[in-house]
Amino acid sequence: MEELGDVTEVVREAVEAGVTGLIAMGVDLERSRTAVSLAHQHSEVWAAVGHFPLEPEDPDIDALRELAADDRVVAIGEIGLDFEAVGGVEPARQIERIETFFGLARELSLPVSIHNRGAGEELALAIKRHPGLRGVMHYFALEWDWAERFLDLGFYLSFAGLITRPSRAALREVVKRCPPDRLLLETDSPYGNAHKRMGVPNRPAYLFDTAEVVAELRGLDLHELDDLETANARTLFTRIRR
Ligand SMILES: [Zn+2]
């Protein structure tokens, strides 16, 4: 969140907008540590520890395991597979890392937050190799066939500002069809802006850009969606306390 200026202000404006809880994601060891420290400074913030798939260095699993023992850590993430980046990390190496992280998540009984670009098949196979693994497909951006595959594996789908783009009608279909008990919302701040805010860094307070569209698609009012989404988040991220 440091790209957004003063974190206290970022959290305050999100809470004022109506966000009751935030998860700060870790994309490498240093930022995982930052996420944990933010979670200790702000009662609304929880942390995830992870290692982004395109990080050139391999993750320090022992250090991340140690960090994940902190009671403010609610997930392993952001982890995943990204096969579309130019000059990215070799797919085989990414798959090795995901195996390690899925093992760690099961060992610690933590859910995973998964990034997927062009690697749905490999991710579905990896999830199947880890019975009992729970988690969310973060920034879900694919069509219903893929949604169904990950739902069948017990996973949640998390929707972001992408669903508000005019070109994403197929994704809005997924938002409509997603089972109510598997639906989550996120900003992916500072990325993932809603259509109406293209070009400015995304902020946690802007979650409602996405929430308004999801509520309309599902025929809910914002309060109903809020209750549903909060309950789902607490079911998946079991370490979140009131
Ligand atoms: Zn991602």
What's the pLDDT tens digit per position in 90-126?
999 999 999 999 999 999 999 999 999 999 999 999 9
- 6 Cβ contact partners less than 8 Å away, ≥ 6 residues apart: none
Distance 139 CA to ligand 1 centre (A): 6
Distance 71 CA to ligand 1 centre (A): 24
Distance 80 CA to ligand 1 centre (A): 8
pLDDT higher than threshold 80 for residue 174: yes
Distance 226 CA to ligand 1 centre (A): 23
DSSP string, 163-191: GGSTT-HHHHHHHHHS-GGGEEE---TTS
The shares of helix, strand and coil residues in the chain, as percent rounded to the nearest 5, are 50, 15, 35
Residue-level pLDDT at 1: 58
Residue-level pLDDT at 44: 96
Distance 192 CA to ligand 1 centre (A): 9
Distance 37 CA to ligand 1 centre (A): 21
So what's the architecture of 2-236 in CATH? Alpha-Beta Barrel (3.20)
Overall average pLDDT of the 211-226 stretch: 97
Residue-level pLDDT at 86: 86
Distance 184 CA to ligand 1 centre (A): 15
pLDDT higher than threshold 80 for residue 3: no
The pLDDT-based confidence of 43 (bands split at 50, 70, 90) is very high
pLDDT higher than threshold 60 for residue 27: yes
Distance 52 CA to ligand 1 centre (A): 8
The maximal CA–CA distance of the chain, rounded, in angstroms, is 46
Overall average pLDDT of the 152-177 stretch: 97
C-beta of residue 76 within 8 angstroms of C-beta of residue 111: yes
Residue-level pLDDT at 50: 98
> What are the residues facing 137 on neighbouring strands?
114, 157
Distance 138 CA to ligand 1 centre (A): 6
pLDDT higher than threshold 60 for residue 2: no
C-beta of residue 224 within 8 angstroms of C-beta of residue 30: no
Distance 13 CA to ligand 1 centre (A): 23
Listing from the earlier edge strand, what are the strands of the sheet with 135-137? 22-24, 45-49, 73-82, 112-117, 135-137, 156-159, 183-185
Smallest Cα–Cα separation from 138: which of 161, 164, 156?
A: 156
Query: Tokens 């999801």 belong to which residue?
Result: 214
Smallest Cα–Cα separation from 160: which of 93, 208, 215?
A: 208
**What is the tens place of the pLDDT at every residue in 51-105?**
999 999 999 999 999 999 999 999 999 999 999 998 889 999 999 999 999 999 9
Residue-level pLDDT at 4: 81
Distance 130 CA to ligand 1 centre (A): 21
The pLDDT-based confidence of 242 (bands split at 50, 70, 90) is low
Distance 177 CA to ligand 1 centre (A): 22
Question: What are the structural domain ranges in the chain?
Answer: 2-236
Q: Rounded to two decimals, what is the model's pTM? A: 0.96
- Distance between CA 171 and CA 161 in Å, rounded? 11
Average pLDDT, the chain: 96
Distance 115 CA to ligand 1 centre (A): 4
Amino acid letter for position 227: D
Element containing residue 152 per DSSP (H, E): helix 144-152
Residue-level pLDDT at 227: 97
Distance 77 CA to ligand 1 centre (A): 9
Distance 54 CA to ligand 1 centre (A): 10
- Distance between CA 50 and CA 73 in Å, rounded? 11
Residue-level pLDDT at 241: 79
